[in-house]
Chains A and B, each alone.
Chain A
Amino acid sequence: MLLRTAHQLTVENDGIVDTIALTGGTSRAHVIREICSHLEPYQVGEKPITGETVIAKDLTIDSLAIMDMVMELEDRFDVSIPMSVIAEIHTVDQLADTIQDLRAARG
């Protein structure tokens, strides 16, 4: 997939998100933007949130807030992430890919 390399980008930057959109992954950029808007309050210092950010580790977000975020993303994108899949998600990229894949599978 073209945008597997998105983790190299600073996704909180709207300009770059627009670039992603232009290169053909509108919905993925959208998913990432949505995830980042949930995560921004938990950013540590100046270190930007990227696709490689390990959600439970690199940020100050607590486990209840992570659960809330996953639930809100599920509602927002109308998908249900199986618990076995959630258990294997560590990074922003993986979460975005999961949501993308579930949406694609639904057709």
Chain B
Amino acid sequence: MNPLPTRNSQLALRRADYQSVPEMLDYAAHGETGITFYNVRGEILSALAWREVRERAQVTARRLIGAGFAVGDRILLTADTWPGFFDVFFGAQYAGLLPVPVSIPVGIGGKEAYLDQLRRQLAASGAVAAIGVDDLAGFLSDAAREFPDVRLQGGLAAIDALPEKPVDLRPLGPADLCYIQFSSGSTRHPHGVQITQSALMANLAGMTGPAGLDVVPGDRAVSWLPLYHDMGLIGFTMAPLSSQLSIDYLTPRDFARRPTQWLNLISRNRGTIAYSPSFGYDLATRRAANQLPTDLDLSSWRHAGIGGDMIRPDVLDRFAQTFERVGFDRKAFIPSYGMAEVCLAITFCPHGTGVRTDAIDRAVLAAEQRAVPATDPTDERRARRFVLCGEVLPGHRLEVRGTDGKVLSDRDVGRIFVKGPSVMPGYFDEPEATREVLSDDGWLDTGDLGYTLAGDVVVTGRAKDLIIVNGRNVWPQDIEWAIEARKVVKNGDSAAFSVDTVDGERVVVAVLARVSGEEARQALARDVAGAVREAIAVDCDVVLVPPTLGLPTTSSGKLSRARTKANYLAGLYAPKTEAA
């Protein structure tokens, strides 16, 4: 089997000038390009031209409409990288239904936590169907058991068993929603971002246009990013589709197993566009340190995007150093910034500049929230390097505001707000949560902190407590809850936060040690780390806090993670116990 071609023989490249997803798939289906799926050895598993994606989706749509699903009904869908995902996702687009892509289980022993996540997502989305890879059919049925509204659940066979009826398609149109993106909010209280067709089209136009990746004929996308994440689904399904590009897919699991396979695919197929959070570049660099394939040629890679979490300049430096000898151009790096609430992207760095950093004085940043250039950028104790993330997309606005709501000048650090056609109308069925982040005049509070610098935005951290580990959003509440649920410590006795390290965020859990004796203390630390690892698949450092000291609370009596973190960094707590 051969990979699908990079160029269409006849069809002219149209760059995201559509009004809806069905419209853009209809156009791409006139060409020969499409999706090729690879296994961990880099062998082709299957290939679907956009034409076939559309045909299969329309069959699925007629089955779903024939089964009586109503316009606007939600379908929960496990977003593993498999052809069935595209059948159901695009099938829903032609049937007037809204897909709700969700993640797959992570790690060993994670069943209960996963079922719990599915139940919360079913509740939050009000889904009436739950479909996944056959392997997860049992989990979906288990989770759906207490939801009488779920009328169809299981593997793809559940849909294939429905008769295909001669009904009219009901494609979603420009005024409709497109899908619901779970990526915001904690696992306990998930918020589903409403991705509208119009916001998606606006964001795709920005992304593929001159201020974004400036897609041209000959471009080819290569991705291992999970499709339950906006960077995977919008960045590496929707954006290539909107420009009729071919995509080569590796699953996230296979990427973790053989990171160099991602680079092999770029090399073999002359890929030009591939993205990853910093940790993916890190993983590839580490693995290649042992054996750099000699036949690797990364010279075709013109846009090496970075997004999804805080961008680590050191990681990217190491990647470039390792792969420059096989043709990688460090100027191909494109730092970008965004969030699911704006579909995906809101700023891109200009082409050909690579990673630009600003070294600022740590002490002034902490004390005065100002980004003052460091006197000696190489002094890591005093200087901290942040990556410039580029300018806001055309038609959009970005402001950095102080606590009084006033727009700050360059180099003053405040909250980042954005506005424009890519911004969501709100979270699904969550008016209160929506009001917290979206103003009446359409400004979105990103919850991120940063500053502007001659048009560029520089992200320095998050105002919220959210922790991002290897590109995954983890809410501290979920970590604390996992510890409490396993009865390791009682409610209110733990506080989770993250600290920045050169290699990324490190999760720290502070727990009140209501035990005495070194053995008992060590056992407690181990139990806490074990509970977190099993429930969330995240590794953490555990610090034991004497009950006499207690954990800091806010004036209203709520746990203050920010102050716990500050105390920890100030060395107020016992020396940290390496529990992992």
Contacts and interface: CB of A to CB of B under 8 A. Distances in A.
Contacts of A64: 539
B135 A84 contact: yes
A62 B526 CA distance: 12
Contacts of A95: 108
Given A60-B579, A63-B537, A83-B136, A88 B111 contact: yes
Interface string B536-547: 011100000000
Contacts of B534: 56-57, 90
Contact of A89 (B109, B526, B533, B537): B109
A88 B253 CA distance: 17
Given A63-B107, A87-B114, 8 more contacts: A55-B108, A56-B533, A60-B580, A62-B533, A62-B539, A63-B539, A64-B539, A82-B135
B139 interface: yes
Nearest to B535: A56
B527 A63 contact: no
B218 interface: no
Interface string A64-85: 1011001100000000001110
Nearest to B529: A60
Interface string B84-116: 000000000000000000001111111100100
A87 B105 contact: yes
| Chain A interface, >50% SS class | helix
B107 A86 contact: yes
B372 interface: no
A56 B536 CA distance: 11
A44 B537 CA distance: 20
Given A57-B530, A87-B114, A67 B107 contact: yes
25 contacts: A56-B533, A57-B526, A57-B527, A60-B526, A60-B580, A62-B580, A63-B108, A63-B537, A63-B538, A64-B539, A66-B107, A67-B107, A71-B257, A84-B136, A84-B138, A87-B105, A87-B107, A87-B109, A87-B111, A87-B114, A88-B111, A89-B109, A90-B108, A90-B109, A90-B534
Contacts of A40: none
Nearest to B531: A57
A82 B539 CA distance: 23
Interface in B115-167: 135-136, 138-139
| Chain B interface, >50% SS class | helix
Query: Which of A56, A66, A67, A88 counts the most chain B CB atoms within 10 A?
Result: A56
Nearest to A88: B111
Contacts of B296: none
A58 B526 CA distance: 8
B468 interface: no
A1 B576 CA distance: 45
Contact of B533 (A63, A83, A86, A88): A63
10 shortest interchain CB distances as A-B pairs: A57-B530, A87-B111, A62-B539, A87-B105, A82-B135, A90-B109, A56-B534, A63-B537, A87-B110, A84-B135
Nearest to B534: A56
A83 B257 CA distance: 14
A56 B107 contact: yes
Query: Which of B109, B526, B533 counts the most chain A CB atoms within 10 A?
Result: B109
A102 B59 CA distance: 35
A56 B530 contact: yes
B138 A56 contact: no
Contact of B256 (A67, A82, A84): A67
B308 to A, nearest CB: 18
A87 B257 CA distance: 18
A58 B533 CA distance: 11
Given A71-B257, A84-B135, A56 B108 contact: yes
A83 B108 contact: no
A89 B110 CA distance: 8
A87 B580 CA distance: 21
Nearest to B256: A67
A7 to B, nearest CB: 16
A95 B108 CA distance: 10
Contacts of A84: 105, 111, 135-136, 138-139
A90 B110 CA distance: 9
